[in-house]
Amino acid sequence: MSQQLDGLIVKEQSGFYWVEATDGIVYVCRLRGRLKEDAKTSDIAAIGDRVSITLINADGHEGIIEAVYERHTVLSRAVRTTGKRGGGQAEREQVLIANPDQAFFVFAAAQPTPNLQLLDRLLVTGEAAEIDEVVIVINKIDLENPSNINELLQPYRRMGYDMIFTSAVRDDGLDDLKARLKDKISVFTGPSGVGKTSLLNKVQAGLGRSVKSISEFSQEGIHTTRDSALIKLETGGYLADTPGIRTMAVWDVEPDELDAYFVDIWKYAPTCKFRNCTHTNEPGCAVIAATESGAISRRRYDHFLKLREELRETYIVY
């Protein structure tokens, strides 16, 4: 009788999955055929998934994934699968990581200037995924005036988002970051150039180089497969690093649901005059009134409108 084990997917590459099983051994596995059919519109298995495997070559550490257990959270994005360099409509879910305990959205205080539109999209994704802990990491704080940083991030403070301010040069915030990573499955993501590699190398020697070597093989655009891995931390837990993200196409959020994932906007949305208010031009819109009074950041409101229109066009097509 074939031996069956439970395990955690810690690496994925070109249709192969490395599963760290309960016996402490890592097995290289493929999906059972019936699971491959389910993978056409989404990633049925991804790093962070808990799975059941059957060993087909115990000595060679090979197996077959028989079942993927139910996920409690999943961080995903929509990927474009048609057109030049993925220029068509976003129509497939790409799972960045399954079952993360926490997500760290990493941006630089300067060089490059924080892309707050991307930050807002990541926060929507985190809210939609119902991830337990969402943390905004602002790196390179040694390059910017603290008052400018505080002013820029004031709307996020008001919303109650947790923040860590770091500098790989001065070691600011590193103890806090290390403590939060301990014994958790964590994901680091954000745009290129924000100093993630240097920051992670400060957290654990060689950690930044390890995740960078994985990210260099990752693919964007028309490709819906990519190589990814969980790196085991010396203090316990795992870290998933994703490639530098230039854009974030939100997955499985309808236009009329979007206000629920903008924390500041949702605070006022229930008091709008009309139950189906789109918060664009309706009379008696509490969100518009709050924006005009300064209670809601004008920048955040503009990002909401832009993303809502993008989602509306996507749902018209599909």
Q: Assign residue 13 the CATH number of its domain.
A: 2.40.50.140
Q: Is the pLDDT of residue 186 over 50?
A: yes
Per-residue confidence at 245, pLDDT binned at 50, 70, 90? low
Strands 26-31 and 16-21: antiparallel
DSSP lists the bridge partners of residue 231 as: 239
Residues 303 and 161 in one domain: no
- Mean pLDDT computed over 265-276: 96
The four Cα atoms 294, 296, 299, 300 give a dihedral, to 10 degrees, of 180
- Mean pLDDT computed over 46-72: 94
Provide DSSP, 201-260.
HHHSTTHHHHHHHHHTT---TT-----EEEEEPTTSEEEEE-PPPS-----S--GGGGGG
Could you tell me what percent of the chain has a pLDDT over 70?
A: 85
Residues 98 and 224 in one domain: yes
- Distance between CA atoms of 69 and 57, rounded to whole angstroms? 23
Per-residue confidence at 165, pLDDT binned at 50, 70, 90? very high
**Per-residue model confidence as pLDDT tens digits over 1-45:** 579 999 999 999 888 999 999 999 999 999 998 887 766 667 899
pLDDT for res 141: 97
- Per residue, the 3-state secondary structure of 272-306, as one string, reads CCCCCCCCCCCCCCHHHHHHHHCCCCHHHHHHHHH
Q: Is residue 246 part of a domain?
A: no
Reading phi first (left if > 0) and then psi (alpha if -120 to 50, else beta), residue 266 is in alpha
Q: Is residue 250 part of a domain?
A: no
Residues 147 and 15 in one domain: no
pLDDT for res 229: 87
Q: Is residue 79 part of a domain?
A: yes
pLDDT for res 87: 46
Q: What is the mean pLDDT of the chain?
A: 87
Residue span of the structural domain in which 234 resides: 74-241
Q: Assign residue 309 the CATH number of its domain.
A: 1.10.40.50
Per-residue confidence at 225, pLDDT binned at 50, 70, 90? very low
pLDDT for res 77: 85
**Per-residue model confidence as pLDDT tens digits over 87-133:** 444 467 888 899 999 999 999 999 999 999 999 999 999 999 999 89
Q: 214 versus 140: which is more confidently predicted?
A: 140
What is this structure's pTM? 0.86
Domain count, the chain: 3
Residues 163 and 290 in one domain: no
- Mean pLDDT computed over 119-148: 95
- Mean pLDDT computed over 268-275: 96
Q: Is residue 148 part of a domain?
A: yes
pLDDT for res 216: 44
CA distances for 57 relative to 50, 53, 189, angstroms: 20, 12, 36
- Distance between CA atoms of 45 and 11, rounded to whole angstroms? 11
Q: Is the pLDDT of residue 234 over 90?
A: yes
